[in-house]
Structure 1
Amino acid sequence: MQAPMPAIPPLPVPPVQKRLDEVTVTGQAVAPTAAPRRPPIVMTFPPQADTERYPNAQANPIRQVAQDPVSTFSVDVDTASYANVRRFLNEGARPPADSVRVEELINYFDYGYRQPASRQEPFAPYVAVVPSPWSKDRQIVHIGLQGYDLPSKTQPPLNLVFLVDTSGSMWGPDRLPLATKAMNLLVDQLGPKDRVAIVAYAGSAGAVLAPTDGRSKLKVRCALGALRAGGSTAGGQGLALAYDLAKQNFDPKAVNRVILMTDGDFNVGVADPARLKDLVSDQRKSGVYLSVYGFGRGNYNDTMMQTLAQNGNGTAAYVDTLSEARKLFREDFSSSLFPIADDVKIQVEFNPAQVSEYRLIGYETRMLAREDFNNDQVDAGEVGSNASVTALYEITPAGARPSSDPLRYGVSEHPAATGSELAYLKVRYKLPGEANSRLIERAIGRGDAYASLAAAPEASRWAVSVAGFGQLLKRDPRIDASFGWPQVIDIAQGARGDDPFGLRAEFVQLARTAGEAVPKGD
């Protein structure tokens, strides 16, 4: 039998602490002296600096047809500006004027243009001429291009590399976690012939997932789920590694593309936009394209995003919500990833006998020289399956009051011109993999004109309402004071049409919000 454990003596009881009001001095209780009250410690933090960067592009000027009749630009199917503008408005502020690219607002929407019949001629032009609602005696020339819709059975396989910014600046629910959800939506679309790899970069770049076929979705999802934000942003190093990985698995019959998910805040290694432009331009020649998806606020570098996408032969989009991610990687999956034409350029020649002035609304960062149109070495925009491109010109008909006085010593007669044509439209493009461009041509005449905006097709009315919205956000001085947010809303309400995803209804609400929002920085 085991001996009983010895009793543990009780712990000594500490003496009772005297209350402050019973302090004794020389044995006698006295009233305490009030201790001096210390001021409360107030923790103050400097407000987070807003370092968002946007291209400082000046609005296209009004041009005189007699001196400068030809307008040339690269197409733009990007939509980043629309989602970014929506983010500002939903936060109760009007966006900075430089963040508003009117063509990206217009091209956010589907216009239901007629589908082209042939993959060899992948665009069906749409043209309408309507009265301008914001400038008396002027007209809007609406040009639309509908891209060919590749049948799913003819879509090429995908060789994708997800390049994911996992730096400290990507911490937060609207950044890396949202990017991960977006990539998972894209993973949903992958098939057995597709391959995907993952590269992450923060401080240093590294491969997270080797090329994996589209059937191994769980493996891809696990790799995405393991990503964490932290460290500096070695964007240039990450880009180089992603391109190398894409080229190691290059398939000439596949879509070979790097998909970058970032806030654009590159701060380690190659971070200069000019050097990154050279990097992606060189890599584009190898057949590996780059698409860029932006996230976050406060430090969002839109200038960097535009530089990368425009020179990488890819698209640029901004993801502000999971709904936007669904639009990009589910509804617009084909147009985002499957190209139908490269180096797409538009050129319009105006007839000086019918038009005295014109200005292109938007596309400021996409302008080309006249001679660039026929030069197949000049890079231009890529268009994906079933994507559409929309451009609007505002014109002053001959005989209407021009914006500037005629030259005292200029030529007064109009040069010889063809009949009643307003303008002549040319579209130049290359089929994927081809070095030589092809041409589509179409005259724009009086038969394309509508007597009133109300009588114009729904597509034109909607495009005009979005263009008015964008120009008001940019505070364009060429918009009459009589045209404001109520007019934008009125035109849009009459052109909502079939709206299966509620995008047009959302736009109307954004226009209402814009009329009440405080301009950013005010």
Structure 2
Amino acid sequence: MRRFSTALCTTALCTTALLSLLAGCAARQAEVANADAADVVVTGTRVGGTLSSPMAPVTVQSAPPPPASAPATKMAQRSLWIPGIRLPTDPGREQYDGKEISPVHVVRQEPVSTFSVDVDTGAYANTRRFLSQGQLPPKDAVRTEELINYFRYDYARPERQETPFTVTTDVMTTPWNPATRLLRIGLRGYDLPAAQRPPANLVFLVDVSGSMGEPDKLPLVKSALAGLAGELGPRDRVSIVVYAGAAGVVLPPTNDAAAIRSALDRLEAGGSTAGGAGLELAYRLARDSFVRGGVNRVILATDGDFNVGVSDTKALIAMVERERDSGITLTTLGFGAGNYNEAMMEQIADHGNGNYAYIDSALEAKKVLGDEMASTLFTIAKDVKIQVEFNPAQVSQYRLLGYENRALREEDFANDKVDAGDIGAGHQVTALYEIVPTGAKGWVGPRRYDDAPPVTAAQGQAELAFVKLRYKLPDGQTSRLVEQPVPASALVIQQAPSPDFRFAAAVAAFGQKLRGDPLLGDFSLTQVRALAGAPGDFWRQEFVRLVGVAEGLGDRPVMSDDRPRALR
């Protein structure tokens, strides 16, 4: 960890430089405050909450700033590094809603694990942003399943849309604990050909408040959404709604990519953030242009810093759930740093039957809204749930790596009224369980009054576990069931795991390491990097480099106040 030199602190030059730096930071904060109070300039003429005449400029007056209040969700401390000094900047502005690491389960007491699928990837891109800035991410910002699902794996391709999934299972010795095994369950969705894609009614909802004026916010939003406009088909339509102190329609539904890009180019940032009003207007516009049998989706691009009007996360969730039930889904795209409200972004996307991604670069924008547009927009199955029942004759204990905020009760699995995650065309979902074979040393010691495995378990010794998958087709209301046993023979490891499986295990270990998982023992980031191997894919190569960055930061506390004592 870098420390401020006491000897240098005594010099007048160092004192002058430090005072200058602090003055500059104060000036910058004043600029941001002034920007937040500015008006919002968009294009169009204000008509009862809607902006028409796309070529005429108009000013939307900002609402007065709300009184300061402490958010209820967990928050991270961000900090600024300068040579020899680490000074806090805007502590507590980024908001996360982290969950405790999943506990160990004893199979004889809890043989069944049930969870909703998760296709979000925002936690990985956000983690990459922190590491790229020379900081370890807050533990609450890391969700292991989103790191794992950021990458694609070698799963068999479904052949028919009527059966939109394949289920792949395999087992390897756990790299950080030779006494346990890793069970991988992989789903792969049907790749929807372009000719089979339904028409899309998309509403771009763009935050143009003052907090979006940074280079990694509104300019990146424009690039991301302009790229998506280039992927439109002849039957697709796009509208643009903006919000700051007030909300307005910048562009009515159109298929003209040039008009969409032109409208995006004219957006400027300023004012406070009436995000709730923007969502209400975007949903209203989506309803007015609703396409039966098509994709009807609001795509929200923001830093999540709602501070005017409906800003409570629970109230926003109630709104998006109502619209979800009417057939309009929600995708959230997060941008920027400093005041980023990830807790709100991830939760409303989940409740809106959409997905959440964090855009930290133009390359990530192209990946999410270009290369993976079909999986982002076109749903092939909804309310997808996974349930795994372990055989106590073969497995004594288990834990699921990640999915803490996706856990369901066992009875929720067959209840079609319980909402779950959706999967888009060509999407993949990967889950990793760490399991203890019966007879091996586990995390929980033997109990004095343990009963012998039931007769049915002994009779089914050929099975390690039984995997169930429930899903509904996009226009269906009744779920379908897929069942697949995992053979007990998989516990007998006869060959080295595939590089693909090793890489998935490395990503899981990295996520758990960043979260401070004590069950990883002394498994190091150097070992994580070695486990990942030398992949040829660009995104996997980048992962290996990020692990290397984390190694270099490993002696620094995670997002703690490690200023020199003299500066505290």
Question: Same-fold call, TM > 0.5?
Answer: yes
1:422 aligns with 2:494: no
Q: CA offsets per residue over residues 452-510 of structure 1, 9 Å max, x none?
A: 6x7112321111010011111111101021x111211111115x2x52xx111111100
> Aligned partners of 2:449 and 2:541: how far apart in 1?
52
Alignment of 1:48 with 2:118, yes or no, is no
Partner of residue 416, structure 2: 376
Q: Which structure's residues are more often helix, by fraction?
A: 2
Match of 2:248 among 182, 187, 206: 206
For residues 436 and 454 of structure 2, the distance between their equivalents in structure 1, rounded to whole angstroms, comes to 15
Identity, in percent, stands at: 50
> Matches of residues 15-94 of structure 1 in structure 2 within 5 Å?
44=23, 45=25, 47-94=89-136
For 1:211 and 1:413, the matched residues in 2 are separated by 62
Match of 1:366 among 406, 409, 414: 406
1:100-126 residue CA offsets vs partner (Å, 9 max, x unmatched): 100000000010211011111100011
Question: Which digits, 9 at most, give the CA deviation of each residue in 1:308-337, with x for residues without a partner?
Answer: 110000010000000100111111111101
Shift of 1:449: 4.4
Residues 1:470 and 2:470 are matched in the alignment:
no
| Aligned partner of residue 96 in structure 2, secondary structure | coil
Find the aligned partners of 1:229 and 1:64 in 2 and give their Cα distance: 54
Report the Cα distance in structure 2 between the residues aligned to 1:402 and 1:171, rounded to whole angstroms.
52
Q: Specify the code of the residue in structure 2 equivalent to 1:513.
A: V
Instruction: Specify the SS of the correspondent of 2:276.
Output: helix
Structure label with greater radius of gyration:
1
Match of 2:118, SS? coil
Contact 1:138 1:396 in 2 (8 A): yes
C-alpha displacement at 1:260, in angstroms? 0.3
Letter in 2 for 1:429: Y
Partner of 2:174: 132
Counterpart CA distance in 2 for 1:227 and 1:193 is 26
Q: Is the 8 A contact 2:98 2:139 kept in 1?
A: no
Answer yes or no: is 1:316 the counterpart of 2:352: no
Q: Report if the CA contact (8 A) 1:128-1:449 is conserved.
A: no
1:506 aligns with 2:542: yes
Q: Shift of residue 416 of structure 1?
A: 2.9
State whether residues 462 and 489 of structure 2, in contact with CA within 8 Å, keep that contact through their aligned partners in structure 1: no
Show structure 1 runs of 5+ residues with no match: 1-38
Return the alpha-carbon distance in structure 2 between the equivalents of residues 263 and 188 of structure 1.
24
Structure 2 unaligned residues grouped into runs of 5+: 1-15, 27-88, 563-568
Residue 431 of structure 2 corresponds to 391
Output the CA distance in 2 between the equivalents of 1:413 and 1:445: 18
Is 1:459–2:500 an aligned residue pair? yes
In structure 1, the residue matched to 2:525 is 485
**Normalising to structure 1: TM-score of the pair?**
0.89
In structure 2, the CA distance between the partners of 1:450 and 1:506, relative to structure 1 (3 Å rule), is farther
Give the equivalent residue in structure 1 for 2:50: none
Equivalent residue runs for 1:241-320 within 5 Å: 241-320=281-360
Cα-Cα RMSD: 1.6
Q: Sort the Cα spacing of 1:118 and 1:447 in 2 relative to 1 into closer, same or farther, 3 A.
A: farther
Cα 1:228–1:415 shift into 2, 3 Å: farther
Partner of 2:5: none
TM-score (structure 2 length as normaliser): 0.82
Query: Given the alignment, which residue of 224, 244, 258 partners 1:218?
Result: 258
Is 1:66–1:415's contact at 8 Å kept on the other side of the alignment?
Answer: no
Residues of 1 paired with 2:176 and 2:559: CA distance? 24
Q: In structure 2, which of residues 199, 209, 212 is the aligned counterpart of residue 157 of structure 1?
A: 199
- Residue equivalent to 2:137: 95
Q: Determine the structure 1 residue equivalent to 2:38.
A: none
Q: Is the CA contact 2:169–2:486 (under 8 Å) kept in the aligned structure 1?
A: yes
Superposed displacement of residue 49, structure 1? 3.2
| Mapped contact 2:181–2:491 kept (Cα < 8 A) | no
For 2:540, the aligned partner's letter is R
2:392, 2:452 → 1: CA distance?
A: 12
Paired residues in the alignment total 476
The C-alpha deviation readout for 1:98-153, integer Å capped at 9, x for no partner, is 11100000000010211011111100011001110112300000000010001110
Residue 516 (str. 1) matches residue 534 (str. 2) = no
